[in-house]
Amino acid sequence: MATQVADKPAQTSPTAAPDAVVVRFAGDSGDGMQLTGGQFTLSTALAGNDLATFPDFPAEIRAPQGTLFGVSAFQINFGSREINTAGDAPDVLVAMNPAALKVNLSALKPGGLIIADTGEFTQRNLDKAKYASNPIEDGSLAKWNVLAFDISALTVEAVKDFGLGNKDALRCKNMWTLGLALWMFDRDRQPLIDWLNAKFARKPELAGANIAALNAGHAYGETAELSGPLKKLHIDPVPAAPGLYRTITGAEAVSLGLVAGAQLAGLHMFFGGYPITPASSILHYLVKMKEFGVTTFQAEDEIAAICSAIGASYAGQLGVTSSSGPGIALKGEAMGLAVMTELPLVIVNSQRGGPSTGLPTKTEQSDLYQAVYGRNGDAPIPVISARSPSDVFEVAIEACRIAVEYMTPVILLTDGYIANAAEPWKVPDPETFAPFKAQFLTEKNDGDRLLPYARDTKGARPWIKPGTPGLMHRIGGIEKNQGTGNIDYSPENHQAMTDARKAKIDGIVVPDQDVSLGDAKGRLAVVGWGSTYGPIRRAVDNARAKGLSVSHIHVRNIWPLPRNLGDLLKGFDKVLVPEMNTGQFKTVLRDQLLVDAESLTKTSGQPFQIAELDAAIAKFFDGVPGNEGGAVEPNSQQLPNPVAGYDDGSLKAGGDAQ
């Protein structure tokens, strides 16, 4: 985490430098690329740039070293203007071995810079990467700028005074590379030196070796006097409102938001979870927050995790559980129990590629049907989605509010991209959030009778802590009598209770839908949800700059939908719904609003690129004066899916860094 206080709006200076740059670090899983990217992100945040990151790592715990399946990458887009995505095509690719070069080369912008470690381009590693010849020497990299030198040897030389073996010495080369990157982009090394001293406080020789490698990489950029593409580049700070800023990932933000929501409800929080990628980080962060009344429990399986959270809610705490798609499926029956018992519960789904085990470390939005429809019986649950890492904080608070005020489980949708990505976040003033204190029934509510399933004006039943004198009542998964809560199988009662549970969810008041960018009427509305926000916004902004009648509408409340959404969409001739699935939200919109929406789908495990959306939008304006483009395909446009990390050539990255 990096924090910075902005006392006044940042001032930019006249410069010929670009307003945004995209850098991708790529190497073997053991090369520390995520650590390198994370620390470069912190230095970028401290420099005052806006940024967005995209960690992309393999699902294998440890693939064979040097193989294509073991490549780990970290991309960061940073600049002196607002940044909405991690960028389409990198301007700079740091490739620590041949496999990293091969997997990531197709994404690099033509004319971009390749920094390669020649020490790893041995015949054995070339064979593992399935190169017939050395690409650094055979001319195949002619359309890019190439800076190749032996980073491995330079690192070993830099740390030789610390008595490390060759294997341990080579583990420092990510710091050497980071030092060079810090020099390239005019970053201060001291915060990272302080971090290394703290990290290796008990092993000063390792701290010294890593710092030596960091300084050596920085010095190489200063003193090598390299001609050609490697130059020092200063990116001005982004103009920012005064306040305290910090970098935050989606997993951190949802954890902080859940804690804030529990505090606003006046409740202790119980988190029952089971490790699963990419949701595990939420448990890791919450376990450090005991001082805020947070109890964490790592259960033996997904079913135990959600059932323990339901038990905590029954006992008067705010129950929370978290998982990804396969684990959410296992929790399905217990979700029905939470619906039947009408207890507050927050269920966080950090979506990943599926079905089944699917793509554990890749992102997707394919659990929307599961969230909206995926339980036995009529078991409606509110669904709310976050659009970015920083947005998750407010969304988590809103999920807690709905759960407490309406006595219902709530599903909060994020995804692998949001969970792992980082961006700057202006720390909000706690006083700006209105409390929603939980109310517990302490005495009988019908004269001398207790009606545990009586309902308030919102349709919510009372919350009763077990052990409250005189308020003993039945609870469980069998149908309740609509007043007393006693078991009641009668047809009339089941109809009444089914209707009551549905009416409660349908009646949840959510904010009216606004237009994120553009006009409230026009030719085309691009409707998104979740992490598609950034690329859609940039693409719509690009289209509007060309004079096209395009608007961006981004939906947070998936179920129930905002009441004005149907009327809003009817103001547009066409509706396009880009999503990382096969068209699930498009189906929901057609089902609920009778909107003739069209899909743009992608299920490659990678986020949308702005160029893909630019092309899709352009097709809607074929024949419109001043615009060239092809006719839009009927019903659905599906983007080609790269296989095993390779671009098949049909999707070309291009345009400026976004």
In a domain, 7, yes or no: no
In a domain, 12, yes or no: no
Which CATH number goes with the domain that contains 585?
A: 3.40.50.920
Looking at the fold, whether 497 and 537 belong to one and the same domain comes out as no
Is the pLDDT at 583 greater than 50, yes or no? yes
Which CATH number goes with the domain that contains 370?
A: 3.40.50.970
What's the CA gap between 41 and 18, in Å, rounded?
Answer: 18
Query: pTM of this prediction?
Result: 0.90
Is the pLDDT at 651 greater than 70, yes or no? no
In a domain, 365, yes or no: yes
pLDDT of residue 645: 36
Last residue of a domain, one of 494, 509, 524: 509
Is the pLDDT at 540 greater than 70, yes or no? yes
Looking at the fold, whether 316 and 396 belong to one and the same domain comes out as yes
Looking at the fold, whether 251 and 332 belong to one and the same domain comes out as yes
pLDDT of residue 632: 38
* Neighbouring residues of 77: CB distance < 8 A, sequence distance ≥ 6: 20, 21, 22, 51, 52, 53, 83, 85, 86, 87, 657, 658
What's the CA gap between 309 and 400, in Å, rounded?
Answer: 14
Which CATH number goes with the domain that contains 215?
A: 3.40.920.10
Q: How confident is the model at residue 13 (pLDDT cuts 50, 70, 90)?
A: very low
In a domain, 625, yes or no: no
In angstroms, how far is CA 4 from the centroid of its own chain? 22
Q: How confident is the model at residue 240 (pLDDT cuts 50, 70, 90)?
A: confident
In angstroms, how far is CA 164 from the centroid of its own chain? 38
Looking at the fold, whether 423 and 452 belong to one and the same domain comes out as no
Contact 316, 440 (CB under 8 A): yes
pLDDT of residue 232: 84
In a domain, 379, yes or no: yes
Looking at the fold, whether 342 and 372 belong to one and the same domain comes out as yes
Looking at the fold, whether 304 and 410 belong to one and the same domain comes out as yes
pLDDT of residue 5: 57
Of 212, 189, 217, whose CA–CA distance to 200 is shortest? Answer: 212
Is the pLDDT at 626 greater than 80, yes or no? no
Tell me the mean pLDDT in the region 386-390.
96
Token pair listed for 58: 């393999």
Looking at the fold, whether 446 and 383 belong to one and the same domain comes out as no
Tell me the mean pLDDT in the region 70-93.
94
The count of structural domains within the chain is 4
In a domain, 15, yes or no: no
Parent domain of 65: 20-226
Last residue of a domain, one of 509, 526, 548: 509
pLDDT tens per residue across span 298-348:
999 999 999 999 999 999 999 999 999 999 999 999 999 999 999 999 999
Looking at the fold, whether 424 and 317 belong to one and the same domain comes out as yes
Contact 558, 384 (CB under 8 A): yes
Looking at the fold, whether 134 and 26 belong to one and the same domain comes out as yes
Last residue of a domain, one of 477, 509, 541: 509
Of 198, 210, 346, 189, whose CA–CA distance to 267 is shortest? Answer: 346
Looking at the fold, whether 188 and 264 belong to one and the same domain comes out as no
Of 632, 641, 631, 557, whose CA–CA distance to 598 is shortest? Answer: 632
Helices 204-223 and 151-158, axial angle in degrees (round to 10)? 130
Token pair listed for 372: 């909206």
Looking at the fold, whether 486 and 399 belong to one and the same domain comes out as no
pLDDT of residue 624: 62
Is the pLDDT at 10 greater than 70, yes or no? no
In a domain, 259, yes or no: yes
Looking at the fold, whether 493 and 605 belong to one and the same domain comes out as no
In a domain, 653, yes or no: no
